[in-house]
Amino acid sequence: MQNELHETPPISRACWRLTLTMFFLAPMAIFEYDRWVKTSEDRLKMKMYERKTWLVLLGSGFALAVHFAAWVMSLDMTSLAHSLLFVTTSPLLILIANAVFKGRKPSVLEVVGVMTSLIGAAITLIDIRDDAEVTAGGDALAFFGAVAIVFHIECGRSLRYWMPTSVYAFPVTFLAAVFLAIGACAFGENTPVFGWATSPKVWWYVLLAFVSGIIGHTGFNLALGYVSSIVVSISTTMEPVIGTFIGWVTYRTSSPKLFTWLGGPLLLAGIVCVVKGGERLQPEPGVVVDDADPETA
């Protein structure tokens, strides 16, 4: 099954996923927008039509497109475990960006987390010698996908404190799909934007878009009403473990090699430390954590 899905070029696969997610989001966005217009203040409704708002949405959509293009391309170049491990390093990148550009002093736990993750990442890269599926280029693309999602999250932070989730998510997903369609043409993939509709594996794409794009991330957002954000944040770091297991069971991908088994847990443990250390610091006023984004993995 994995090889059959990979017959579709990578950027087109990413585009197909987001176009399907966009269709699922559309009715949610319409319903939420209608309710928001009836209950929100006039000043907030006016912000929706400001030039700055749409520039931020455009930047968020572009960053999301780059994230998916890089990540899906990495899946063709490195192992599933390595791709998932490196694409989930965004908490580390956010910490470093905050320290460098905003002057926020990291907590001791965050520093310990970064060091632990760097050691874990270095250990996993040793498998490049012995595992034919693992490549430095593929791992780098997955990491670049994590860099892109940081920009996507930062764009969302400036809008999400006043803009409803689906009202934000739909235009961003739409714009990302457009950018991916343009990228697919630029790289000569020549695949129809809605090619999933005629693909023999259409239900796999539908399932991927609905389960991961809607149920998964919307479920995380819903969980925030019942458990702390730290529980939700830490649970997202389990994606490499769960994703690798599903890939092994469903697609018969090869199991991770020795150094991935040794370094992977350290990388994840470091990310958990960073998330937990950041939770202890006072959040910025008016900022909403972007856990609810439909596409952050």
Could you tell me if 144 and 71 are in contact, meaning their C-beta atoms sit under 8 angstroms apart? Answer: no
Characterize 225-247 residue by residue with b for buried, 16 or more Cβ atoms within 10 angstroms of its Cβ, and e for exposed. Answer: eeeebeebbbebbebbeebbeeb
Q: Radius of gyration over alpha carbons of the chain, in Å?
A: 19
Does any domain span residue 72? Answer: yes
Does any domain span residue 243? Answer: yes
pLDDT of 279 reads 67
Look up tokens 């791992």; give the residue.
Answer: 139
Handedness of CA 242, 247, 248, 250 (dihedral sign): positive
Question: Tens of pLDDT along 246-276?
Answer: 555 555 556 777 888 888 889 888 888 887 8
Domain residues for the domain of 128 are 2-279
Does any domain span residue 6? Answer: yes
Look up tokens 């040794």; give the residue.
Answer: 262
Q: How far apart are CA 92 and CA 86, in angstroms?
A: 11
Model's pTM, two decimal places?
Answer: 0.81
Looking at the structure of the chain, the number of domains it has is: 1
pLDDT of 254 reads 63
Q: Phi then psi for 289, rounded to 5 degrees? A: -65, 140
Q: How far apart are CA 139 and CA 81, in angstroms?
A: 10
pLDDT of 225 reads 47
Question: Tens of pLDDT along 95-118?
Answer: 888 888 778 888 888 889 889 988
Does any domain span residue 289? Answer: no
Characterize 282-295 residue by residue with b for buried, 16 or more Cβ atoms within 10 angstroms of its Cβ, and e for exposed. Answer: eeeeeebbbbbbbb
pLDDT of 171 reads 92
In sequence order, what are the residues at sequence separation of 6 or more whose Cβ sits closer than 8 angstroms to the Cβ of residue 114? 92, 95, 96, 106, 270, 274
Could you tell me if 125 and 267 are in contact, meaning their C-beta atoms sit under 8 angstroms apart? Answer: no
Neighbours of 186 (CB within 10 A): 9
Does any domain span residue 114? Answer: yes
Does any domain span residue 285? Answer: no
Does any domain span residue 262? Answer: yes
Closest CA to 175 of 27, 47, 88, 58: 58
Walk along the chain (297 residues) in steps of 10 and give the mean pLDDT of each run. Answer: 62 89 89 89 85 94 94 88 87 83 84 89 83 85 91 82 85 94 89 78 75 63 49 56 58 70 88 78 45 42
Give the DSSP letter string of the chain.
Answer: -HHHHTTS-HHHHHHHHHHHHHHHHHHHHHHHHHHHHHHS-HHHHHHTT-HHHHHHHHHHHHHHHHHHHHHHHHHTTS-HHHHHHHHT-HHHHHHHHHHHHS-PPPPHHHHHHHHHHHHHHHHHGGGGTT-TT--HHHHHHHHHHHHHHHHHHHHHHHHHTTS-HHHHHHHHHHHHHHHHHHHHHHTT----TTGGGT-TTHHHHHHHIIIIIIIIHHHHHHHTTTS-HHHHHHHHTTHHHHHHHHHHHHS-PPPP-HHHHHHHHHHHHHHHHHHHHHHTSPPPTT----TT-S---
CA-angle at 118, arms to 115 and 119, nearest 5°: 85
pLDDT of 174 reads 94
Does any domain span residue 292? Answer: no
